[in-house]
Amino acid sequence: MKNTPINYNIVNQKIKESNLQSVGRASIRMIKKLVDDIENATGERYIRMEMGIPGFPPLKIGIEAEKKALDAGVPAIYPDIFGIPQLKREIKRFVKLFLNLDISAESCIPTVGSMQGSYAAFLTLNRMYPEREGTLFIDPGFPVHKQQIRTMGQEYMSFDVYNYRGDKLKEKVESYLSTGKVSTILYSNPNNPSWICFTENELKIIGDLANKYNVIVIEDLAYFGMDFRKDYSVPGQPPYQPTVAKYTGNYVLLISSSKVFSYAGQRIGMMVISDKVFETRAPGLLRYYQYDTVGRAMIFGTVYSLSSGTAHTPQFALAAILKAVNNGEFNLLDQVKEYGRKAKIMKKMFTDNGFKIVYDKDEDQPIADGFYFTFSYPGMNAEELLHELLYYGISAISLLITGSERTEGIRACVSLVRRGQFSDLEFRLKRFHADHPIS
Ligand SMILES: Cc1ncc(COP(=O)(O)O)c(C=O)c1O
């Protein structure tokens, strides 16, 4: 039996019981279950970095607004499928104040989490033109998006952006768009899992190509404003959260309230459709909808049939949160900046012990410290590393499930790691390093 920080035999036994063919290829939820089982069996606490869930309590402003709405009897009433007016108004203001975009309130639609926003966007936008097939993912990315595409029987293409940063992005993206098969492009920015952020140059390349090939960009802003190298939190003042919308009218923005407002449980997000896309007519839609305009097909065809709108009281919560943020009464990023501070400390612990950061640059700049980072260990592939780290009380996920071609890479999420665990993390990494000398 090996002497590892977590009992070697118990870890082995739990891996065996999990029936996973490979820990390194397991989904996030499967890793979570396995680590829960090991923790229960050993009584030891892991450094849990596998799940991307908020590490803060939900915003009080939201809870208070929701309580009021509950007491007022709002749950008895079906919400309008396009959203309650005060929320639509505040989304419109938010988009103006933090992205510097002019958009009509009609095009601002609450969704059941950003996940429903992407589902609705794929479902509607990938059906506009019969000769096109689906979405181009600029990876690495969030695996569930591809799962969504598969559940609809749609097609997708994807590539790992690692080797195509900066000007090289143009030729690569164009090679897909010029096939004539792509309806939409999706990426997240800041990126889950790698925390890279596209530069203005790269966003312009994507926007210009979207114009040239008449493709719609679904920009996933799940980590809105959380590139802490710049302060995007002052309403109505630059710098603004970077967006492709500066360069093209062909966009749909997905803004989640899960991370930035720690409101994941209420499943409420925002879909912002550009006025141009909202009004676009596409006869291909008539194969599935009564309407050939995107906005109407999206709302009265897709959102209606998916869930008949978004739960009523969370809409009051989000409206209240946005109002406070828009009015400058509450700083959107104050709380979540702690993710960046923790990432900085944790990344150093990893690199001091032989680990490398995998996605480490935005063009020539070091990437930001934020919700996620990626790492590797010399001489090990991701599968081996993830497996081996389990004996050291560290859990994360492999980049293999994210469309990354970096077969050595692991994603770490900092949100659930408490500062009180930093000494454990450091001790375990040191042990790992000592037990796995780098040749
Ligand atoms: C890139 C990305 N998009 C979307 C989501 C889902 O957001 P929501 O909770 O609003 O559905 C997540 C959540 O982790 C994410 O990382």
Which residue, judged by its Cα, is nearest atom 2 of ligand 1? Answer: 222
DSSP state at residue 302:
I
Q: What are phi and psi of 53, to 5 degrees?
A: -120, 155
Architecture of the domain delimited by 78-326: 3-Layer(aba) Sandwich (3.40)
Total number of residues shown for the chain: 439
pLDDT, tens digit, 9 for 90 and up, residues 299-342: 999 999 999 999 999 999 999 999 999 999 999 999 999 999 99
Kindly give the distance from the C-alpha atom of residue 415 to the centroid of ligand 1, in angstroms, as a whole number: 14
Nearest to 241 by CA among 252, 250, 230, 249: 230
> DSSP letter string over 58-75?
PPHHHHHHHHHHHHTTGG
User: What Cα–Cα distance (Å) separates residue 59 from each residue in 2, 264, 330, 430?
Assistant: 45, 11, 10, 37
pLDDT, tens digit, 9 for 90 and up, residues 383-406: 999 999 999 999 999 998 899 999
Distance between CA atoms of residues 394 and 82, nearest Å: 43
Average confidence (pLDDT) over 347-361: 98
User: Is the Cβ atom of 280 under 6 angstroms away from ligand 1?
Assistant: no
Which of 198, 258, 371, 372 has most ligand 1 atoms within 8 Å of its beta carbon, as the pocket-test mutant?
258
Which of 49, 116, 142, 399 has most ligand 1 atoms within 8 Å of its beta carbon, as the pocket-test mutant?
142
Whether residue 200 contacts residue 177, with contact meaning beta carbons closer than 8 Å, is answered with no
The closest-lying atom of ligand 1 relative to the alpha carbon of residue 118 is 4
Amino acid identity of residue 73, one-letter, is G
Residues forming beta bridges with residue 216, ordered by sequence position = 184
pLDDT, tens digit, 9 for 90 and up, residues 104-140: 999 999 999 999 999 999 999 999 999 999 999 999 9
Whether residue 385 contacts residue 353, with contact meaning beta carbons closer than 8 Å, is answered with no
User: Is the Cβ atom of 220 under 6 angstroms away from ligand 1?
Assistant: yes
Distance between CA atoms of residues 27 and 19, nearest Å: 13
User: Is the Cβ atom of 402 under 6 angstroms away from ligand 1?
Assistant: no
Nearest to 183 by CA among 119, 146, 135, 145: 135
Kindly give the distance from the C-alpha atom of residue 253 to the centroid of ligand 1, in angstroms, as a whole number: 13
Amino acid identity of residue 308, one-letter, is S
User: Is the Cβ atom of 52 under 6 angstroms away from ligand 1?
Assistant: yes
Distance between CA atoms of residues 29 and 43, nearest Å: 20
Question: DSSP 3-state assignment of 310?
Answer: coil
pLDDT, tens digit, 9 for 90 and up, residues 272-295: 999 999 999 999 999 999 999 999
> DSSP letter string over 386-426?
HHHHHTTTEE-EEGGGGT---TT-EEEE-TT--GGGHHHHH
pLDDT, tens digit, 9 for 90 and up, residues 24-42: 888 888 999 999 999 999 9
User: Is the Cβ atom of 115 under 6 angstroms away from ligand 1?
Assistant: yes
pLDDT of residue 25: 81
Average confidence (pLDDT) over 409-422: 96
pLDDT, tens digit, 9 for 90 and up, residues 359-392: 999 999 999 999 999 999 999 999 999 999 999 9
What Rg value do the Cα atoms of the chain yield, rounded?
Answer: 22
Q: Where are the domains of the chain?
A: 8-56+337-435, 78-326
CATH number of the domain located at residue range(s) 8-56+337-435 in this protein: 3.90.1150.100
pLDDT, tens digit, 9 for 90 and up, residues 31-74: 999 999 999 999 999 999 998 888 898 999 999 999 999 999 99
The closest-lying atom of ligand 1 relative to the alpha carbon of residue 112 is 11
pLDDT of residue 387: 93
Question: DSSP 3-state assignment of 128?
Answer: coil
Distance between CA atoms of residues 175 and 164, nearest Å: 12
> DSSP letter string over 181-210?
-EEEEEEESSPTTT-----HHHHHHHHHHH
Kindly give the distance from the C-alpha atom of residue 354 to the centroid of ligand 1, in angstroms, as a whole number: 31
pLDDT of residue 24: 81
User: Is the Cβ atom of 269 under 6 angstroms away from ligand 1?
Assistant: yes
| Token pair recorded at residue 225 | 């404003």
pLDDT, tens digit, 9 for 90 and up, residues 182-196: 999 999 999 999 999
User: Is the Cβ atom of 141 under 6 angstroms away from ligand 1?
Assistant: no
Please, what is the end-to-end C-alpha distance for the chain in angstroms?
Answer: 24
pLDDT of residue 1: 67
Which residue, judged by its Cα, is nearest atom 12 of ligand 1? Answer: 222
pLDDT band at 76 (very low <50, low <70, confident <90, very high): very high
- Planar angle of CA 104, 108, 110, nearest 5 degrees: 160
Whether residue 280 contacts residue 249, with contact meaning beta carbons closer than 8 Å, is answered with no
DSSP state at residue 342:
H
Kindly give the distance from the C-alpha atom of residue 4 to the centroid of ligand 1, in angstroms, as a whole number: 35
Whether residue 351 contacts residue 357, with contact meaning beta carbons closer than 8 Å, is answered with yes
19: region left, alpha or beta (phi > 0 left; psi from -120 to 50 alpha) = left
Distance between CA atoms of residues 362 and 12, nearest Å: 39
